[in-house]
Structure 1
């Protein structure tokens, strides 16, 4: 076999099909144009879809391209195997209603046997089992022996996307690479999972239009769509076992090895990292050249993910400093001949990737260190799943995508608490503006708390005390450690002892005051920061406070009690939900403030009004029972014996805190609570909604929040009573009476409108025309909704005998269109769905329907007449075919 470089093979293919009358087009960008169905171009035919569907007229009925593609579904497999790629080039020749099977097969066979000079005895073809004409062409016209033609089922050799639309059988060409690539099975042949028989070219014969009922109708103009992976072809022609051994890939691969001072082929672990970098730098370079920018969403996230994965594997290989920019040149040098944009934008690509690498380098070392610490902890405890709080910290603080964390854990045989991560993400969005400490890095690799002594820790005594004396052991702004702060300054105070509860477990941090002999700080929030420290965030409202001063730390007891009411109520709520809804209910997240409680739980459908009422009643029953709330610290095993519920995915130490509410609810919890359920006062659910698949959310109020809620409701009731001129206890009956009167007025209004429409109908019947022997009525009616328009349509259709009715009406700045046809008109070619679909587009709407009836709505009331003229034109076309 002759050997050709990848660039030579590309040129050979494109030149060959140029000689067959194909228009040679350069690759389209990897960013789809006017195609929201794709994130990135993933196949050679993808940019040509408008030509296949007929939306656009192709510049030629025959085209050939080599399309650069990005496929994201295999990112996790990149590097693990020697054949998966994210970025690849797809050779293709296409016919838009021009030639069909015989030409496509003939040229494919000519290219592989005459141009590539592949030995015919090592070539095999697969054919769809019901496509005998294709098999006949291969055997009778091309001379392929019958034992080299393999019939396969629909799963392997029939191409279709979705339930309707263009589709058809396909035929694939295989190359026998030899027994050394086989599995030694006596049944090894085309279709075997081993590497002996390589499929390298797929010929798709798009000849059917699949209908909604599953039938396949012949397309009037069948199309040809072929695809051949250039890298796979090159591997085959160059006699190498992997795409990473192909010349252009090998150049990048060798450059990676030189930077890392390693050899390829000596270690599976090292080889994986080399392959990851080789593929990802190529992908990122091509994406950058087409304008993709790294970001946290969409295609930008794909790019960022690839860059960061490449950088991480560079670290694993021991590459120091910035290295992506070095590899960009190798990628460009090997592909610039075909993709000139790579060279044109070289400086831009290098800058873009370098900045992204620099940004990631600022955090990756610290992030990897933290993750390795988590892994060591998991392994020491014999655990297999990293908690959501830890994985979110890696994401939010150190810039680690969740899938990167998951991938590293997978390499160690560990997993990740994905639901816990999602809950943390939701909580972060809510507190983003106020977030401090560990959740406020925004890409920074350090914050001010990292500069404090690691020996400084905070002891929380707030379960029993709300006011203590302690010292101001550290005083900071958000940017720096300071020795003193004056009136008006925002500060963060850290002490060795505090009664302030720090935000955690879904419960908000305490507020209050810190007072010294010389000044006062108003604390608005308390959080846990690095190294077991509690940071009291606030503002100096009087005098001056200094580091080292003795201070009185006083919690706002009113707000603490309000938070405790809501927190204790969540425990009762969870227990009540399990009783009413089922034992599958688990806490999926919570957020407790002094104003309200929010409780996320696992469930798969909305609660009924009766269930909500029952849950609410149970909680209030337990409030009225005045159950004592006790806490104790014990071992996790003892807590389980007591029947204590633990948070899903939460990691607990040897000693846990158990909160027991009269033996009704027993949970592990570190938050602050009441001493008796009667202190809750009352409990009211204000909403129940869905937040994610399988996760519901209840929001509720207690105590003073419930009082405020009821006061607001009563205020509304008083207002309604005033408007209806009745007493509060008679409002419901009064409103019922008003609604009954309103319905009667509406019925009378409808009757009058019907009479007017009937009179109008007599006039409109004068507008009936005739097309090809069928009656046609296209008219606008005044101020009528869709229901009224349909009724009028039925009336007119009955009067036509055989024909078509299209009516339009404007009401409340909206346009309604209805089309109806008799059976005879439908049999003659009328399709109301197509008429209305095209007509409503004129008024900025969408819709359609069946051949005999269709309706749609639009917004542009100024173009109703134009829409009706369009309908007339389509009716004429359909009846005059």
Structure 2
């Protein structure tokens, strides 16, 4: 049975039982506690936490959620059951059925015959575990379902009690296992061997509330929840493994084709050697996870989600290289995994070109990193051999791994080829420190999750009626006041409060558009609204500071006013953002996908996935197309329609955004700009006014940003640019239209003059070098040249001079030490040694460190040449003397 069929059978089983089908949320949710969605229940957290009332007609739901867990990336492939990406199929009950319902639903799907819509598993091979004192669940399994008591086992808090890891809902759970047979391990059930007995489904009975604590079992149970809930999770990949009769999750219809391609590209064979098998599994697992992250809008970067994606893609490249691949591999891996996953996720097909472009670009960059890393490794290995050592230090290996992205196992392999070893213990210790810091940071973020339950009553019973699309003022009744997370009945002068009203004309921040500014007017006194935020997509929170001589009470009636100038300029910027997006796709093609935006009165920035810097000509095209749409005075149409209808029209949605069944579509100039958007917009494109593109820049690997002004801000910017051009034209006594050529001429002259000066300086320096050889002093068995060169000598000139002097010293055991005060007041320095001096034990890299201590600097290099820089040039003379004393002590 193919994986997509397993998914369909699961969904239909619960839909027929009255559950609402909920599409998978994006892997990226606006949740400060999570980097990625890591469990099927995550999108339902507001309902389990009591922050919102479930919107499902029967109080039940089912979903197959995309999940990513990356805590133990290094362990991937070592076991054959765990993936970084997996599909968690779940059914959820919010105060409806409880233990018996969850158990019988699960048992029915697993054991019903295939011809009746079930999965057809042999009931005699199913085992279950229950929490130690959960007699109720154990009795249901035995008396209602009919499982013999010997196949029902009890486990403690660590295994059969669930919580989110922070205060909130919790409860015992019951897990279902499948016996894969004696060839997989010992008899005796899951307690005896969890490899033979594979866990496939976890049924969580949420009935209690937990307090603070650490670990899986070290917390207090505060008491029962108001309602008993059900949260279950079935591992689609594990069920596929069983139904397809394969040994592990890497051999199912989703991942095995990637392994087959890897065999072709590398020449290695899966199943031949344990270490190679791990690399094959890494390639298969990470290809899928990387592809799904790119699909949901993640691009490689150096922090957060982008760092995780970059790490996954680089592990694919590294693993392929270690298996024997010589050239690029990413395109074939990604193409294969997209083919296997598209039946379950049809949206992959529309994004195929973009996914390939992001992955292949990252591969090219990393292959360059491997080249530079190889050079750095060779330097490290050379230093170890020169010092007659056999081991590359842990901190050097860690620097190669952490700073330069050079994989540790590649470092180990290359060291082995060079007859060296790596201090793995030291490396592991540094990695453990890094993981501990990351874990502590993650824990801090978890406990920083804001409690929004204070707003639940308003979300459920008094959602805000937003009238701001049509009106800029409204009569509103104050429903609630919240200060420092607590509800209050009255706000006093000087206090910052969150004000909740029944009707509001003010736009709450969303979709990249900042919230409106405005005021509440009460008894002739204006209370400024400094920001408007949204909670649960239904409730508007007005950030208000009570002025002197005023107050505000729950139940008061106020006049709500939007700052009209703010709204006008904000609408201009938001509509301009849509036009920039349309122009961008027209110039760059459909693979330039939005990665985020921000617009406020008069200004916008637009982030998009693209790997190349835009040319001035492309920017000019984008600006010209945008303004041509402005000039054409198109009507801006907004229409509400079902989500599926909007998608069928071609309306674009933002990655990571969860849309309701009914969405708002904003259309400008027909198909040129058609987007799902809840923001405020102008009525006609001409109302945007001029749009001035400021430029574009990189904001991360594969993500570019365009910034622009709109309306009066655009006019003011262009006016300043004109004044600047006129000023330059006047100073240079040339017409404005000739400025580019005139400035280019001056720049060329300046560059030629600077080159002349540099050449003259080098000639003067070269003329001095002969005299320096004659001034060399004999220090024991070494001929030493230690000289501070004229002020303004740059580091590059110092190095050239040192190489020249070393060459002039011929067969002598000579050491050259040079320093200077450069144009920035810094102190570059260099040490060079002839081959004869190196043979006598001189190490230039050690000597620059001595000199660095006297000039507040540092340096390094090879035995025959090293250099550095410091901030205290006045210490050069003393540093020279220290080196001379060091050399004298060797004689």
TM-score by length of 2: 0.49
Greater gyration radius = 1
Higher relative contact order (CA 8 A, sep 6+): 2
